[in-house]
Structures are given as C-alpha cells and as structure tokens.
Amino acid sequence: MIESLLIANRGEIARRIIRTARRLGIRTIAVHSDVDAQMPFVREADQAVCIGTAPARDSYLRQDRLLEAARETGAEAIHPGYGFLSENAEFAEAVVAAGLVWVGAPPAAIRAMGLKDAAKARMIAAGVPVTPGYLGEDQNPARLQAEADAIGYPVLIKAVAGGGGKGMRKVDDAGQFAEMLASCQREAAAAFGDDRVLIEKYILSPRHIEVQVFGDTHGQVVHLFERDCSLQRRHQKVIEEAPAPGMDAATREAICSAAVKAAQAVDYVGAGTIEFIADGSEGLRADRIWFMEMNTRLQVEHPVTEAITGQDLVEWQLRVASGEPLPKSQDELAINGWAMEARLYAENPATGFLPSTGPLDRLRFPRDARIDSGVEEGGAVTPYYDPMIAKIIVAAETRTAAAAKLSRACAAVEVWPVRTNAAFLARAAADPDFVAGRIDTGFIERHADRLIPSPEPSAAVLQAAAAAIVPPPANDPWSALSGFRANAPSARQVEVEVADKPYLVELEPLAPPASVSGGVLFLGGEAWRFGGRRADHAGGGASTGDGAILAPMPGRIVSVEVAQGATVAKGQRLLVLEAMKMEQALLAPFDGIVAELAAIAGAQVAEGSLLARIAPKDG
C-alpha cells in the first residue's frame, strides 16, 4: 500500500481523500494557494505546502510546483482528485517520469477519451452505440452550420476538449447557431485552451445516465451500477441519484455492459465514468441509450454510488494504484437502497443563479445527512474557485423516502450572508414530478416558476419574522387560546419591513418552525435579515432600481453587446461577465436607453463596479 500521498487539489475534494487515506494509515500532504492557507483541508493534512497565489493557473495548475512539492515532502504518490489536472495526460506522464505513483487513469486512456470526437470514433469501433452528430476536423463556421442544418435542430454544440458542463450550447434553430457557436468556442478556449467543437443531435427528452467503472492492473474491469444525473441547469449537475429511476434489469445489463466494454477498449485502470444520454420519452430502453463521453477520473457525485454499494471508491483508487487487484468482483457487487446528492452552491436563484461570494458568518448543515464540504463557519467563499459549498448526500430504502429526506436536509441548511440555492434544492427534491420520477435534463428550466423562490417573502416567512420581532410571552395563558374571542381577535398585528416594503402580519401564538440567530431568520433553506422592525432577504443582483448594472462579483468582461445611447428591451443581453469559471449574461432590467456604458471587453472588474446604466425612455 502507498505510504505517503500528495493531493493535487483543494477544498472538499482534498478533505474527502484525506479522510480515507487517514483510515488506511497513509501520510497525506496538502498543497494550497495563499488564500487557502486557513482552509480545513490544509489543517487536516499531515503536512501542507503553499504552491502559489490565488488564481488556479498560478497554483493548483502549476505542474512544476506540484512536482517540486512532492519531492520536498517525500511523497510516494500524487492523487489529482477531480477537476484541475485530474484528466491531464501530460501531468500524469510527468508524475510517472518523476518516479511517483499516479493515482488516476493511465495517460494513454486519458488521451484516448479526452477528446470527444476521437473518443466517439473509438467507441464506434468497439461496438458501443453513440449519439448521431458531426465529429469532423473542418471547424469552419460555415461547415459547422451546414452540418447542424443537416442533422436537424435542436442540436448541441460541445467543446471537443470539454467537461464539467463548460463549452456546451443548445441551439434551437439556424438563426441562433452563429451566436451560440461563438460563445461556446470562447468559453472552451478560456477553460481548456482548445476552441474546437463537435455537433450532436439534441435528444428532446434526454436523461443523463452514467455508469461507474473500475479497472485494475490485472486486466479486470467491473461496473458499480448507474447514476442518474438528469437534474441539471446549464449542463451543470444539480441533483444526482443512484440507481436511476425507471431502470429495469435488462436495460441496466445493457448499459452497464456497454460501459465495461468502453473501458476495456482503452485498457482502463482506476476509477472512471462512462456517460450516456438516453431518450426518456418512452421510458428507459436499451436501444435508446447512446455513449456521450468518458470522464477518466473520480466524479463529484461518487458518494451516491458508495451509498448503494457500501464501497469506498477512494480506497479502491488507492489500492489499485498500489498494484492490488480490485477489492470486489462483479458478482460480489449489488445495489442496496437509494441515494441522492444535492450540490449546495453559493449562488442566488432569484437573480438568475448569479454566484455569491463573501464571509460565512453562519454555516450549519443538517445532522441526518452525509456532508462533504470544503469550507466551515467563519471562513469565506472566494471568487477564485468553484462556488460549491457542500454536497448533501442522503440514503434510504426507497426513492420516495430518499427524496423526502433530501428535501428536509436542504431546507435545514443555514448560511449567511452568502446566498445559496438551498431553498431551490429543497423544492426540487419535493416536487411531485421529481418524486414520481418524471425527470429529464429540461426539468429545472420547465419548472423554474415553482422551483425558484420568489424574492417576495412568503406568508410563512412573514409569520416567522413577526414572531421573531415580537415573540409571545412564554407563560401567558391567554396567548395559547387561539380560538378565544372577546371583543377583539387574539392575534396581534405586527408591521414587518422586507426590502423597504411594509407588511402587516397577524401574529399567531404558534409561528412556523424557524431558526433565528444574530438578527437573521432561517426558514426552508432561505435567509432573511432583521433590524428592529425591518427584515431584508438575502437578495441582491446585478442591477439596481435606478437601472445601474453592477458587477455581481469580480470577473472579466467577455463581451459588450450594446453601445451607449442604444435602445434596449427588458431582458436584452447587455454584456457577458466571466466569473467563477462560468459566463454570466447581464440583462436590461427594463425597457430603456443605455445612458452610461463603462464596460470594456477584456477588462477585469471588481465586485459592485458600475458597468452600465439604463435610463427609462421617457427619462
């Protein structure tokens, strides 16, 4: 077994690996940027080395500094985690050349599956079914448009070197193609240094099904069943589960066998995921599932597979990298129960899911769930890395029970002042269509009106706010007589101000269950600030009431799509800001004229910077 391990990653990823390594008696070495020096993963490792400044390109992506840190600390092996350099064949080769153990896929397999077009060609040769599309070398926009026209809309433009939902655009008609292509290529170039794309037929009722595979150096490859990752927003996974709802035994056998065949075709070693797209319009069927891509690493959502199989996949990685055979044979693996995982992000659903940064003055998680998190109360969410705060994982005997447990867990999250998607997640897990298994990748977009919490306070919020401001006497017998009437109602009227708007609330003796701490109300995954008779929701956004368009967080202006003096319509895209590894479109808040334009394409901007100002037409 490996005796010492350098983890070339950060946050919850590093903590997850450290947890298993410690149990196995392996010495762990953390690497960190200067802004991460006080993070929990740094303290939890046996040793830590600072490798650079905050931007990932100056620290976590510095291959030379990672190898130097391994030499300095006497590390025997390097685990890349997931993300950053985990699927970088050059880094894997450099690790091996340095005489270290690489806890990951073989470089040849990473290369074979790293480019989507080449991977699909290899899968076709191996007899694995693939999605119809264009995989050609000709990247001329006119040729790409012609291929999309021939395939038939809608189509999906995907970065050849893509992953993690980046460099991907759905195009509904020919008129959108040029704009979407340019945006996709721009994002792909920024994220992967490669702007080449492929075109796929977009499946109208798509289900995202993926299979966990594992190979060892003794020629064995097994699968650990499937996961359903269909609940997505902008191609980013939101809720994952295992097994997949509606999967019968015959279809499971077909898709899992195809996954094993795909892994064997590239002599795979270690943890990997074969991703498939399924046409769910008539339920899951073996002849309507196609290969999309392979992720040659451990996945963010691996805990749901661990929950239903009872296996520690990081331990499997470490044992395989040490030359041991797989811990279990295929016949020894079975599905037990149901598991779900929700990704808690620092983002505000009420403002188009714009990322949120800042201190974590309060951070409380539910106790009846597995929490994989990289941050802690008193820390902060910075603009430098992925905005995920935690993964909330639950398990139960049935899917219905797991969904109810996940919804309760997300509703119990308390975070302040950073905004989160906790209430959105709680609603999604409790949605009747989700509970019934009526899901596909368009679920969130289709049900956004009932999933995204309103910026207006609900009746439950107002009632809890009123009770927090004027709590009823603890031992007043009259307060308990909710049905008693003697010339006046028993309820007291209390004025509550939320976002400068007054509300008159009937204060009942029994307020809804809520938590109040430090002048902040937490209820159902939401957070509302109080100040005397005032209560402000943890809202915010990229525009203000006077039409000022502000940078929601530090970032780079990718494009400016209007000119000063131009007439704009409500919802029209004004500019695109790249922040926290994603492009954010900033829109006109109302019909008007661009009275002021300070944004310049390519410029870096600070949070709160004035980028533009929209004036009413009559103003």
| Alpha helices per DSSP H over 290-417 | 302-309, 313-321, 399-411
Cα–Cα distances in Å, from 586 out to 384, 548, 569?
20, 11, 13
Length of the chain as a residue count: 619
488: which 2 tokens?
A: 């006046």
If you search the block for the tokens 């947890």, which residue do you land on? 19
Q: Per the structure block, which two tokens stand in for 402?
A: 């797991």
Strand order in the sheet with 358-364: 380-381, 358-364, 414-417
Cβ neighbours of 564 (radius 10 Å): 12
Residue written as tokens 């976002």?
A: 499
Question: Which residues have a catalytic role annotated?
Answer: 297
Which residues are CB-contacts of 23 (< 8 A; sequence separation ≥ 6)?
315
Closest residue by Cα to residue 330 from 264, 395, 240? 264
Query: Does a cis peptide bond (omega within 30 degrees of 0) precede residue 417?
Result: yes
Q: What is the distance between the alpha carbons of residues 512 and 410, in angstroms, rounded to a whole number?
A: 17
What's the CA gap between 391 and 512, in Å, rounded?
Answer: 27
Cis peptide before 243 (omega within 30 of 0): yes
- Segment holding 300, helix H or strand E: none
Note the helical H segments in 127-234.
141-151, 177-192
Contact 495, 476 (CB under 8 A): no
Please give the sequence-ordered ranges of beta strands (E in DSSP) within 346-454, or none if there are none.
347-348, 354-355, 358-364, 370-373, 380-381, 388-396, 414-417
CA atoms within 13 A on the CB side of 581: 20
